[in-house]
Chain A
Amino acid sequence: MKRVSEPASPRVSPLYNPKYRSIAYQLALSALVVLLAYEVVSNAIENLARAKIATGFGFWNVTAGFDISQTLIEYSAQGSTYGRAFWVGLLNTLLVAGIGIALATLLGFVVGVAQLSRNWIISRLAGGYIEIIRNIPLLLQLLFWYNAVLKTLPEMHHSLMLRGGIYLNNRGLFLPKPIFEAGSGFVFEALIAALIAAIALYIFSVRRQKKNGKRPPMMAAIFALLMGFPVLAFLVAGMSIGFEFPESGRFNIHGGIEILPELVALLFGLSIYTAAFIAEAVRAGINAVLKGQTEAAYALGLRPGATLRLIVIPQAMRVIVPPLTNQYLNLTKNSSLAVAIGYPDFVQIFTGTVLNQTGQAIEVVALTMAVYLTISLVTSSLLNWYNARIALVER
Chain B
Amino acid sequence: MKPIFTVLGAAALAGLFSAASAAGTLETVKSRSILNCGANGQLPGFGLPDAQGKWTGFDVDYCRAIAAALFNDSTKVKFVALTAKDRFTALQSGDVDVLVRNTTWTSSRDTQLGLSAAGVNYYDGQGFLTRKSLKLNSALELNDAAICVQQGTTTELNLTDYFRAHRMRLKTVTFAALDEALSAYDSGRCDAFTSDASQLYSVRLKLSKADDHMVLPEIISKEPLSPFVRHGDDQWYDIVKWVHFALVNAEEYGITKANVDEQTKSPNPEIKRLLGSEGNFGEQFGLTKDWVVRIVKHVGNYGEVFERNVGQNSPLKITRGLNALWTKGGLQYAPPIR
Contact = CB atoms under 8 A, between A and B. Distances in A.
Interface stretch (B164-172, B265-273, B287-295, B297-305): B164-172
Given A65-B157, A252-B171, A340-B177, A53 B112 contact: yes
B113 A339 contact: no
Given A47-B20, A348-B174, A359 B108 contact: yes
Nearest to B87: A356
Interface string B158-192: 01110010000011111111001101100111010
Contact of B17 (A28, A39, A78): A39
A171 B146 contact: yes
B320 interface: no
Interface in A148-182: 150-151, 155-156, 170-171
B156 A35 contact: no
B176 A170 contact: no
Contacts of A54: 111-112
A27 to B, nearest CB: 11
Given A35-B10, A53-B114, A251-B144, A67 B191 contact: no
A322 interface: no
Contacts of A66: 156-157, 160, 172, 174
Nearest to A24: B3
Interface residues of A, number: 52
Interface string B57-97: 00000000000000000000000000011001100100000
A353 B20 CA distance: 29
Nearest to A258: B171
Given A32-B10, A53-B114, A69 B180 contact: no
Contacts of B14: 35-36, 39
B213 to A, nearest CB: 15
B160 A53 contact: no
A35 B109 CA distance: 33
B151 A353 contact: yes
B232 interface: yes
Interface string B1-29: 00100110010011001101100000000
Interface in A348-395: 348, 352-353, 355-359, 361
Contacts of A357: 156-157
A150 B6 contact: no
A358 B88 CA distance: 12
Given A52-B231, A171-B146, A359-B108, A78 B164 contact: yes
A16 interface: no
Interface in A25-81: 25, 28-29, 32, 35-36, 39-40, 43, 47-48, 50-54, 65-69, 77-78
A249 interface: yes
Contact of A65 (B108, B114, B160): B160
B145 interface: yes
Interface in A116-156: 146-147, 150-151, 155-156
Contacts of B138: none
Contacts of A29: 6
B311 interface: no
A250 interface: yes
Contacts of A151: 187
Contacts of B224: none
Given A40-B17, A252-B144, A51 B152 contact: no
A36 B13 contact: yes
B173 A77 contact: no
B57 to A, nearest CB: 23
Given A39-B17, A66-B160, A249-B144, A52 B232 contact: yes
B128 to A, nearest CB: 13
B143 interface: yes
B230 interface: yes
Main secondary structure of the interface of A (DSSP, over half): helix
A51 B157 contact: no
Interface string B130-150: 000000000000111110100
B111 A262 contact: no
A258 B176 CA distance: 22
Nearest to A151: B187
Nearest to A53: B114
A250 B113 contact: no
Nearest to B161: A65
Contacts of B108: 359
B188 A155 contact: yes
Nearest to B188: A155
Contacts of B151: 339, 348, 352-353, 356
Given A32-B6, A43-B18, A150-B184, A348 B176 contact: yes
Contacts of A355: 85, 152
Given A339-B176, A341-B180, A147 B152 contact: no
Contacts of A339: 151, 175-176
A24 to B, nearest CB: 9
Given A66-B160, A342-B175, A170 B112 contact: no
A51 B3 contact: no
Contacts of B175: 339-342
A244 B56 CA distance: 54
Contact of B145 (A251, A348, A356): A251
Contacts of A261: 189
A51 B112 CA distance: 10
Contact of B231 (A25, A51, A147, A341): A51
Contacts of A340: 175-177, 180
Contacts of B176: 339-340, 348, 352
Contacts of A50: 21, 232
Contacts of A356: 84-85, 88, 151-153
A35 B153 CA distance: 38
A67 B112 contact: no
Interface in B93-135: 108-109, 111-114
7 contacts: A28-B6, A48-B114, A155-B188, A170-B189, A341-B180, A353-B151, A359-B108
Interface of B: 3, 6-7, 10, 13-14, 17-18, 20-21, 84-85, 88-89, 92, 108-109, 111-114, 142-146, 148, 151-153, 156-157, 159-161, 164, 170-177, 180-181, 183-184, 187-189, 191, 230-232
Given A78-B164, A171-B146, A252-B191, 8 more contacts: A35-B10, A53-B112, A67-B156, A156-B191, A251-B142, A252-B144, A342-B173, A358-B112
Interface of A: 25, 28-29, 32, 35-36, 39-40, 43, 47-48, 50-54, 65-69, 77-78, 146-147, 150-151, 155-156, 170-171, 249-252, 254, 261-262, 339-342, 344, 348, 352-353, 355-359, 361
